[in-house]
Amino acid sequence: MDKKDKQILMELQSDVRKTTADIADAVGLSVSPCARRIRKLESDGVIAGYQVKLDRKKMGLMMTFFVNVRLSNHRDQVIDAFEEAIAEMTEVISCHVISGSYDYLLEVVSKDLPHYESFMRKLQTLNMVQDINTNLAIRAVKQGSPLTIV
């Protein structure tokens, strides 16, 4: 990946709706070579997809929770079952394997506390879950930032 590819990626991250012509102009290329570069970045998997960023509050998701989860054991089948269950829970918008006292960190969005309680009941019924610790986010200081292009 060269400097032009990185510039293209920065342009796309700033506004995915930019036209190829706008991107080409911003990075100093003509439209056809710019389009070829974008297609190559897509086929190489550097561009994994395109998403619309929604406003959580306007979507009625007023609360964000960070949930630490510790599993009862670390056998492959237990891990796989937990991760499959989490993948099905639409309230979980990100799930990370972490080091330290817990095994996973979940980011969970909810419209209110009763909705979150309902989610917690689903999580607590997973027999491989040993411990759960929840933190309520008061407000987001930084969220959904573009990736640093190195």
For residue range 85-94, list pLDDT tens digits in order.
999 999 999 9
- The whole-angstrom separation of Cα 137 and Cα 139 is 6
Residue with tokens 């995915």: 16
Mean pLDDT for 121-134 is 97
Q: Is the pLDDT of residue 42 over 90?
A: yes
Among 115, 113, 95, which residue's Cα sits nearest to residue 104? 95
CATH class of 63-136: alpha beta
| Alpha helices (H) in the chain, listed in sequence order | 3-14, 20-27, 31-43, 76-88, 113-124
- The whole-angstrom separation of Cα 38 and Cα 24 is 10
pTM for the model stands at 0.85
63-71/129-136 β-pairing = antiparallel
Write the DSSP symbol of residue 141.
S
Check if the beta carbon of residue 58 is closer than 8 Å to that of residue 67.
no
Q: What amino acid is encoded at 50 in this protein?
A: Y
What would the two tokens of residue 64 be?
Answer: 């964000």
The domains of the chain are located at: 3-43, 63-136
**Sequence-ordered list of residues with C-beta below 8 angstroms from that of 86, at least 6 positions apart, any chain:** 92, 95, 104, 106
Angle of the 3-14 helix axis to the 20-27 helix axis, nearest 10: 130
Q: Is the pLDDT of residue 146 over 90?
A: no
- pLDDT at res. 81: 98
Question: How do residues 8-28 score in pLDDT, each as one tens digit?
Answer: 999 999 999 999 999 999 999
Q: Is the pLDDT of residue 144 over 90?
A: no
Domain spanning 3-43: CATH 1.10.10.10? yes
